[in-house]
Amino acid sequence: MTTGSTQAAPGRRLRSRPFLLLAALGPGVIAASAGNDAGGIVTYASAGSQFTYEMLFVMVLVTVGLVVVQEMSARLGAHTGAGLVALIREQFPLRAAAFAVGCLVVANLGLVVSEFAGVGAAFEIFGVSRHLSIPLAALGVWAAVALGSYRYVERVMLALTLAFLAYPIAAILGHPKWSTVVSHTLLPHFTASRAFVFMVVALIGTTITPYMQLYQAAAVVDRGSGADDYAATKVDSIVGSVSANLISMSIIVATGAAIGGSGVLTSAEQAASALRPAAGDGASTLFAIGLLGASILAAAVVPLSTAYALSEAVGVERSVSRSFREAPLFGSLFTAQIVIGAGVALAPGNLVGLLLDMQVLNGVITPIVLIFILILANRRSLLGAAANSPRFRAVATVCVGVTAGMALLVVGQTVMSWL
């Protein structure tokens, strides 16, 4: 009997590995996937329509930066049991934390508007009015988060990430020249033009955004993952970052194969429509499905990141698993953002100006948040042996420095265009 059970154990362990991996997935996958929101989809699709496959190598470099930043955020949450804003409040002067949180709230509110606008745009591709789809989506997002536990909400969000599988399928339906795709992915292809540099900056800015890091650290804490669980948390963070950027690259491939060289796109629905004559109705429909899933996921993650941040800033209860009575500020902040975001998205008029302003503000706060994360992750007084090693510190400094520099560059370019 003893021998038989011993022989069966390795098989059970092998069979359990996929389930252990699935069990580890959570905040990292959700945070990184939320970055592929409506604005991100427009940016990736525009990169493909303008430069075909030339941006794929840039995305490989951006993926490295995203992995580094998200891993540090997850490590801080797991080893300290506190979110980023709580750590900033404890480790830095109060004014610094207040400035970062103030910028985040304003920028995130604009992003919530864009997510619900994305929901409306996706449904309009299927012939459903945004005046019906946006209120229903807002109610659904609010109910899923406000009335559930963290584990329930996490499962719903992970299910929404399955919608992103539509983009690799759309890329295949576009019949790209795969040898060229591989070449542009593995080898640098840079063009000395302002349009190319601006697109590189846009790709960095839309892939590495502050709400992703804030959500990742806070959700790790809300999930109950601690230092002992960090191995699984790290896997989740890396898998999430890499898989999300593979989706981003598939959007570039899909639009590059179908309409590469046609110029700038101004909306995700324009990209979906443009795919139809080149890749068929299937690719266009899949693009719209991906846009819908991305917008709904980000419509939940962005206001949650704000609710976590403000609640951490004032030191009150913050958890998806808590009721309104137990966490009134957290619940009220989440609800208010949903109501305002959906309401503004329903208002008549062009939202381009508002969204542009929000991109500029995100460009300002991205360097601030990333520098805070880097300093915190370097501190042995905070993390002990889990602090950045000298080699990782060097890599992280380069990643944060380049990302911050590019973010400030896009702010400068935008301000100059205003003048």
Residue 289 lies in a domain: yes
The structural domain count of the chain equals 1
Could you read off the pLDDT of 146-195 as tens digits, one per residue? 887 777 787 888 788 888 888 888 888 888 999 999 999 999 888 777 78
Residue 159 lies in a domain: yes
Banded model confidence at residue 15, pLDDT cuts 50, 70, 90: very low
Could you read off the pLDDT of 290-336 as tens digits, one per residue? 888 888 888 888 899 888 888 888 888 888 878 788 888 999 999 99
Residue 36 lies in a domain: yes
DSSP characters over 273-303:
HHHHHHH-HHHHHHHHHHHHHHHHHHHHHHH
Banded model confidence at residue 5, pLDDT cuts 50, 70, 90: very low
d(CA 188, CA 56): 9
d(CA 297, CA 159): 10
> Is pLDDT above 80 for 395?
yes
d(CA 409, CA 250): 27
Kindly tell me the sign of the dihedral angle through the C-alpha atoms of 342, 343, 346, 348.
negative
Helix ranges (H only) for 379-419 are 380-383, 390-418
| DSSP code at position 115 | H
Percent with pLDDT over 90 in the chain: 24
The predicted pLDDT at position 134 comes to 92
Could you read off the pLDDT of 206-258 as tens digits, one per residue? 888 888 888 899 888 888 888 888 888 898 899 999 999 999 999 999 888 88
Q: Which residues contact 66 (CB under 8 A, 6 or more apart)?
A: 32, 35, 207, 208, 241, 244, 245
Residue 2 lies in a domain: no
Tokens of 332: 């009220």
The predicted pLDDT at position 261 comes to 78
Compute the CA torsion angle 104, 107, 108, 110 (nearest 10 deg).
Answer: 160
| DSSP code at position 36 | S
Phi-psi category of 17—alpha, beta or left, where left has phi over 0 and alpha has psi -120 to 50? alpha
d(CA 337, CA 108): 9
Backbone φ, ψ for residue 28 (5° rounding)? -65, -45
121 vs 5, residue with greater confidence: 121
Residue 6 lies in a domain: no
The predicted pLDDT at position 315 comes to 80
Lowest mean pLDDT among 48-52, 362-366, 378-382: 362-366
The average pLDDT across 24-48 equals 81
Range of the domain at 296: 24-418
Residue 19 lies in a domain: no
Q: Which residues contact 351 (CB under 8 A, 6 or more apart)?
A: 113, 114, 117, 344, 345
Mean pLDDT of the chain: 81
Phi-psi category of 315—alpha, beta or left, where left has phi over 0 and alpha has psi -120 to 50? left
The predicted pLDDT at position 280 comes to 60
Lowest mean pLDDT among 91-105, 123-137, 260-274: 260-274
Percent with pLDDT over 70 in the chain: 84
Residue 10 lies in a domain: no
The gap from C-alpha 96 to its chain's centroid, in whole angstroms, comes to 24
341 vs 122, residue with greater confidence: 341
CATH number of 335's domain? 1.20.1740.10
The predicted pLDDT at position 349 comes to 60
Residue 14 lies in a domain: no
> Is pLDDT above 80 for 273?
no
**What are the CA-CA distances from residue 236 to residues 24, 71, 224, 241, 377 (Å)?**
6, 9, 14, 9, 18
**What are the CA-CA distances from residue 274 to residues 100, 183, 270 (Å)?**
39, 25, 6
